[in-house]
Each structure stands twice: as C-alpha cells, then as structure tokens.
Copies of this chain bind each other. A is one copy, B any other.
Amino acid sequence: MTTLRTPGPTIGVVGGGQLGRMLAEAAAPLGVEVVVLDPTPDCPAALVARDQIVADFDDEAGIRDLAERADILTFEIELADQNVMDRISEETGTPVHPKPSTLETIHDKLVQKRELEDAGVPVPPFRKVDDADDIRAAIDDYGAPVMLKARTGGYDGRGNVPVESKADAEDALESVAGPAMVESFVDFEREVSVIAVKGDDEVATFPLGENVHEDEILRETIVPARSSEAVTERAYDVARDVLEVMDGRGVYGIELFEATDGEILLNEIAPRPHNSGHWTIEGTQTSQFEQHIRAVLGWPLGSTALRSPTVMTNLLGDVEEEGLAQLGDIDEILETPGASLHWYGKHQARPLRKMGHVTVTADGDDDSVDDLLETARDLKAAVTFQS
C-alpha cells in the first residue's frame, strides 16, 4: 500500500545530465524529490531537482552524502562506480536500483554478451580479443567487415571500430587501446529498441521504437516501428529475456537489430532510461522517466499504452566548435501542432552534443509515422545553433 507524504521519498541520482533532468521533471507531480550528484556545477538536472551535490561520479564522500539524503539510490550514467555504490549502500542501508552487479555485467560488453547468450538471448556471433590474430580469426569466421568494440567505457558509438579487412586489424586494435571484443556485423533491416521496466513484482515493455543512427549516434526514434507484428512480438520476447538477466528494479534501454531475415539480435543494453525512449513523455500514458521513478521506489508500474504514433528527433550540437549554447528559430517548433520541445539546459554546445530533442505526436487520425518523420525533420532543419 503506497502512501504519499510531504516531503515525499527522495531518490538520489548519480549523474545530472538530461536523463536526470527528465527524471526530476517526472518525479515532481508525484511528490517525489530528486537529488543529483554531478561534477558540473548547475548541471542540466539542477534546475528541476531539489538539490545538486557537486562531486565526481566516483567520489566516495559525495556518494555517501547522496545516500544519506536519499531513500533509494539510482544512476543515469554508466560511469558510476559499482564497487563504491555497493559498499556505500551496505554502509548506509540505502538500496541501489538497478543493482550494482547489473552495472558490472553491462559495463564489460564481453561479460554482458556472454551472460545474455547463456540466458538464451540471441546475440550476434562474438569473441574475446587478446591480439590482432583474434580479429583476423573473426574475419575468417564471420566474414568482413567485423566490429571491434572496447569492452568498457564506450557509448554513443565511441570505442566501436569497424574493421574492413585483416590488414586493418593491428591499427584497429591500437585505436581501441584496451580490452576488446569483436562482433560479426549484422546485416540489419532496421535498428529497433524496447524500453523495458523491471518493477517490484512485474515487468512492462513500451511499444517498439525504430531508431535511425548516423555516425553511431541516435538521430530519430519512430513509434510504432515499421516492423511486422511477428518481428515486434519477437522483440518483446527478447526484451523480457534480457530483463531476466538484469538484477534490480528500473528502466532498461534494450537496443536490438532486426536482421534482414526477420531475426531479432541484441545490440546493447543501458541500465537506465534511454535516448530512444524520450518519445514516451508525450507518446505513452506513463513515460520511461516516471516508470523509472516508480520502479526504483517499488511502486506499481503504470500503463505503457501508446497514446498516438510519435517521432522523436535529437537536437545535436550543430556547431563547428564548442561555444555558448544558443538555439535560434524555435518558432516553427512552438507553432506546430503536436510538436513538443525539450531543451536540456547545457551551457555549452559542442559538435554532436545532445542539446535537446523534439517530439512530434500525431495531430489527427490521418498522420502516419512517415508524415510525422517528415515533420520532425522539417522542424529540425528550421532551427539553427548560433555562436
């Protein structure tokens, strides 16, 4: 039986970027307070959160302070140090969700893939890389090109290096500079993702999203994905199998390949709300951020029903070099029926930095996702980053 009080429960979030900001936005109507820990003064989440602790993501004193102020700890970046969080959770009695062990599993892509494969989750062929010979052997087995991945620390495509031929193996390995793994390239029809939620005693999946990447950075999410019903169901099945492997409550962003033969293969997992789930703020009855708040608190999950077809487009820093964040010509976004603007409040714009996003929901029954995608692209083209 859930009871609301004032002040409500406090969630301590390691990380205060746009995910922390949107978590705090979702927490406020429920009377839930959010305190974030982030090294950047006046980080994006600071505007909406109850408070920010200015400290590095692995700063023990800062995390202890956060744990002492919070009823539950969670994180919005994978840079959180699982050992530190585990120990401080033990010391302070403040639970962490998802569990640090899950963070540890996900942190090392090789460990992640092995555990998931063991659990029956379909993954592309992969192998551990100790030296360039392993890459060449992978090319023999899977065919060129293959994808060389840093086992730890990569995100938004950083640490991923395509290897076109055996001759490139040495150079590729050098550029990754650290423990690595190699995967077969998937010949995919499209990339899709399931935002899945593990609650106290229940799970939920959001409608399948179709993701458009460029230079390995997410540009657009289209919902519902233009996949067949059978493929969509397969994606939900895989997502539920992934949740079985994850330990602890919360939202997981599960990125998948829809192969040309209709198979679903796991690509990556994020143990937190995910960029490809931002569309849920307007597109579903309960957003991924509200679900994460509910899940980590052990509250009942909400409905993930689609309210209307929806397209989300990222506003990436379209600048030559770092400078003050200024986005001009937003009038068309503000004036377009069904368009919603989200500005993350970052002080500096950098090339390809995620500065905000625009969501477009169907305005009438006639809008197809293709129409919405066209509108979203027009709106993005209308705004300009100024320096």
Chain A residues with CB under 8 Å of chain B are 1-8, 21, 24-25, 28-31, 33, 47-48, 50, 285, 294, 299-303, 305, 307-308, 324-331, 334-338, 340-347, 356, 361, 363, 386
Contacts and interface: CB of A to CB of B under 8 A. Distances in A.
B308 A307 contact: yes
Contacts of A5: 324-327
Nearest to A329: B1
B300 A4 contact: no
Contact of A334 (B294, B341, B347): B294
Query: Chain B CB within 10 Å — which of A2, A324, A325 has the most?
Result: A2
B346 A6 contact: yes
Given A340-B29, A342-B29, A343-B29, A331 B285 contact: no
5 contacts: A5-B325, A6-B347, A30-B343, A33-B47, A285-B340
Given A4-B325, A4-B326, A29-B341, 17 more contacts: A2-B331, A4-B330, A4-B343, A5-B326, A6-B347, A7-B345, A25-B29, A28-B47, A31-B343, A48-B48, A285-B338, A300-B331, A300-B334, A301-B334, A302-B334, A303-B336, A305-B363
Interface of A is mostly: loop
Contacts of A6: 324-325, 343, 345-347
Most buried by B among A7, A308, A324, A346: A7
A3 B337 contact: no
Nearest to A28: B48
Contacts of A285: 337-338, 340, 361, 363
Nearest to A357: B29
A303 B363 contact: yes
Contacts of A386: 3
Contacts of A2: 328-331, 334
A305 B335 CA distance: 12
